[in-house]
Structure 1
Amino acid sequence: IENQLVINEKDIMISENGDSKIYRPDRMIETENGTIIIDFKTGEEKEKHQQQLNEYKSVLEKLGKTVVETKIVYV
């Protein structure tokens, strides 16, 4: 697929209310339509996995990115 940039485990730092926090999605794919976030997990499906993905999405959107898809891959 053309015009995609795959970024693995890149630190994303954001500061809010004087606190800095670092996020590290497993994989982001930058496409011409926006960003796809993929997180790889082992074990069984847990609600906190989706919450983590939602946090990544929120942080990227605050930084001006358009997130077009989020996906958890259980391995």
Structure 2
Amino acid sequence: TDIRVNCVAPGPIDTELIRRLGNQVVSDMIGASPLKRLGAVDEVAALVLWLCSDAVSFNTGAVFDMSGGRARY
């Protein structure tokens, strides 16, 4: 059917929703991240754009973790 199914699993991304959790919660998230920062909306958008492109024509069934190295399963 030429349908590809992939998933983006974002962690804490710097959005209004995350910021509403409060400074202490956000600081704790950043402190627990190996990259020591929140992700950027543009980073998520770039990954989604790539996944929608022909560059990914041989990839399906993958989960792309965007947690800054702090995946929790």
Fold agreement, TM-score > 0.5 = no
Greater gyration radius: 2
Q: Which has the higher strand share?
A: 1
The structure with more helix, counted as a fraction of residues = 2
Normalised TM-score (structure 2): 0.33
Larger relative contact order (Cα-Cα within 8 Å, sequence gap ≥ 6):
2
**TM-score, structure 1 normalization:** 0.32
